[in-house]
Structure 1
């Protein structure tokens, strides 16, 4: 996609102070996450710790003002190391003669620097900065403003830390980057538009990382409501009693064995016409999943089950991103929140629950709880919010992980416009998606006991067909992001732990789909 910052156009204006003063990270919400700063005003910095020179493939041009001795050393090192400016290449030189920085980093940008690649370059820079490198200057004269913003955004995303459970947390990255570019005002404005996206990702990472004992449904609902307080977002939290009164028996049932009962979080952002039906994002918010009486028996499978709320976290972050960018669309985020534990009151295999639309569901497997809570979330989006299109996202099935691994999420839909918009969003953000078939699979979730059952084979298709039942005739797409939400080690723009997968995918999808309607 050549227009690789589609949706982040400079005509958008932020409602917060971020656009006016992003170089000081003036957005209050960032203070809990980053100690870094980005300045977009050209000024000479003597004694910088690092000078970064982005180099296009085959296009090394050294500034005339640099000393002949320094240029000769650089030219010799480039030849010796085989540095050609290919995307991702990196070369460090120290203590050049008569130089105003302590070290020089050459970074290859390749022949065409797209958004995701620029973000990866930013992540590389952030990963190589030590606590002794506090001042960075980037010569960005050969970069356009969007490329500069994307590199800065990548630095921000990699610099996130989740350290609240460390008794002595390591110092967080604390550096200032001075960007010298062709149009610094435009770069500043473009970077400002990445800030609500980064904030949404950080909140999604926090929510997903939070252990199940602390991150139960009510706590997550309150955490999300606080996170969106400075945005133009209406947050509504439905209590367990209200969930029950609304008839959402599937959502309520998953949590009935826990002391922490089900909640429903609804976030509404109105950037479009007052009478326009919203696009709904529905995210699985199972705050911890033991599997219920179909208990997860492997320690390796149960220990990371706080990440089962990553779909819901992605929805929260995406609505924040859209609101912060003042996207011209009405969006509703629906996050059913549950806590799937075992007790004398928990759901039993073979029990029947009744969903919001009156469907009677045989719970054949209590570990297939995500589709139960999503069923009521989708019903709420369709029936109560009158959504004109619905995308649901969930860490839903092991079958998806076995089929596609961690490089792709699976998508299911019968609506070409939704599929095309999602594929384009995946390519833009490098949160790639791959379409799997919904049919034929007739009878896959039939039940002899009730209207439908909550499992079938093949597993990923059964989950999708189950959810499709509740979307009915509303245009709908399902994203199975199992195995995409967590990074075992730092890589690219992601530190170790929850990576905020889905925030950028969903926010770009909403804009793509809305623009194409």
Structure 2
């Protein structure tokens, strides 16, 4: 794997376009190491002064607990007694903390259960849980991980990295970021180090996506996000970034995308990032909703709690950019194109009105029954571009699209829609492997739910999640296509698992894994 320079930057000049006052001067250039101050070392070396020692213990059928033989008999007996009192069995997530053991080389000992099996997603969550506890407790950490595979150790380290991200650019006095070194004592340090290196491009893609999601609407408008993305991929030799201006969007006939932003001073842009790792083959296209702020337009959002976090409506687009960066960073042998339509759904005298008709890039006339169903409008032109201009061999679109999806499957799953079993199978596997779970909802037989008496189609219907999917399917036509509705999955008010508070970069890992799964299956 070749590690490539990558940056995340917004210049003050970009952010002051149209006189917007930026509270934080700029998003500084940021490599992977700028996001995370913690370090991971995988060579086995003896340490005499350890702040926290983590002993990972598997759950055995006979209930026995294996303690390192290098510890003296008195220490092992003391620890065994404490574990027995706590009824510790090694069940996944169980933890017992022991402080200031006599004549012991670590100030704290955490005995942590890994269960009888430790899947990748579970290992990531276990690492994240350790990171949540370590933030202000340690500088030097040793993890005894004998018996774990190199990929399990790498997954735990990856989970720690993901949890340790902070978005503190708007804080006047940011709290210190976690800063400690983790020494992993496993069976094969070189193999674990190589496996961990493969996770770094993926984590970096997540970090960039989180930054984009968290950027407030007045600073993260379409032009700003487009230029940020260009900077983010500028250090990758194999990624080509193209930005279409509002004038070009209009000239190309993408009236659905242009129409959503026409009421804002920040008009629509189209961002296209193409990674070439697979020779001359047609690309797999990822299309992500990049609505940089959503007021609902004239169908105004009236809930304060709903509108307050509408900068997260660009989470699908952020996921697409992060996934392309992740695949490029690990030199995946695939051609992948990311298409991100960028809009700003505001109200003014020139805004699209309910009942207006917009003409999409493929010529479809769309009756806009509800201006708050804007995501599918911009995705329509993004999908058309992927199909018509990029000749994509398959298309996956991802969006915070419908409240109906949340009502149907909640926020533990994304909803997926497709008539193509190979796409669905690869997506379900990707969800299980990454912990970003998906649940298939039916596309049919809902015939007629987006029919319009006025135009060719209308942008709403019932059931709501299916109407959104059927609308997007219209623009994919005969290209293999899958739709991911990630409404409710993009943001959390508090830290949870591998995610800190705020935008979580949901979809980066799911999409990157799906692309590799789908391609590996010979599609």
User: Structure 2 length normalisation: TM-score?
Assistant: 0.93
Aligned partner of 2:261 among 231, 249, 255: 255
Alignment pair present for 1:270 and 2:276: yes
Of 348, 358, 375, the match for 2:363: 358
Shift of 1:169: 1.3
For the 8 Å contact 2:5–2:31, the answer to whether it is kept is: no
| Partner SS state of residue 66, structure 2 | coil
Partners of 2:130 and 2:194 lie apart in 1 by 22
Question: C-alpha separation between the residues in 1 aligned to 2:70 and 2:191?
Answer: 26
Q: Which residue of 2 aligns with 1:321?
A: 326
Task: Quote the residue 1:6 is aligned against.
Answer: none
Size of the aligned set, in residue pairs, is 496
Contact 2:5/2:235 (8 A) holds in 1: no
Residue 39 (structure 1) aligns with: 41
Q: 2:166 aligns with which of 153, 161, 184?
A: 161
Query: 1:181 deviation in Å?
Result: 1.3
Contact 1:67 1:99 in 2 (8 A): no
Asked if residue 311 in structure 1 is aligned to residue 313 in structure 2, the reply is no
Corresponding position: 1:238 with 2:240: no
- Alignment check: 8 A CA contact 2:494 2:501 kept: yes
Q: Could you say which residue in structure 1 is the equivalent of 2:110?
A: 105
CA contact (8 A) 1:123 1:158 kept: yes
Partners of 2:234 and 2:181 lie apart in 1 by 28
What residue is the counterpart of 2:19 in the other structure? none
Query: In 2, distance between residues paired with 1:82 and 1:345?
Result: 67
Q: How far does residue 17 in structure 1 lie from its aligned partner after superposition?
A: 8.2
Instruction: Give the alignment of 1:202-213 within 5 angstroms.
Output: 202-213=207-218
Q: How does 1:125-164 map to 2 (within 5 A)?
A: 125-164=130-169
Structure 1, residues 100-139: CA drift from partner, whole Å, max 9, x if none? Answer: 1111111101011110111011001101114241110111
Residue matched to 2:181: 176
Question: Retained in 2: the 8 A contact 1:67–1:98?
Answer: no
Counterpart of 1:385 (choices 390, 404, 420) is 390
Please state whether the residue corresponding to 2:171 is helix, strand or coil: coil
| Contact 1:252-1:262 within 8 A present in 2 as well | yes
Contact 1:315 1:334 in 2 (8 A): yes
Q: Residue in 2 aligned with 1:469?
A: 474
Checking the alignment, whether the CA contact within 8 Å between 1:248 and 1:356 is kept in structure 2 is: yes
CA distance in 2, matches of 1:17, 1:164: 22
1:333 aligns with 2:368: no
Quick check: 1:85 aligned with 2:87?
A: no
Deviation at 1:67, TM superposition (A): 2.3
Q: Which runs of 5+ in 2 are unaligned?
A: 7-28
Q: Distance in 2 between matches of 1:69 and 1:486?
A: 48
* 3-state SS of 2:124 partner: helix
Of the three residues 446, 457, 462, the one matched with 1:457 is: 462
Shift in Å, 1:60: 2.3
- The answer to whether the aligner puts 1:119 opposite 2:121 as a matched pair is no
Residues in 2 aligned to 1:28 and 1:355: alpha-carbon distance in whole angstroms: 37
Instruction: Provide the secondary structure at the position in 1 that maps to 2:197.
Output: helix
Q: 1:17 to 1:470 in 2, by over 3 A?
A: closer
Using a 3 Å threshold, how does the CA distance of structure 1 residues 107 and 17 change in structure 2: closer, same or farther?
farther
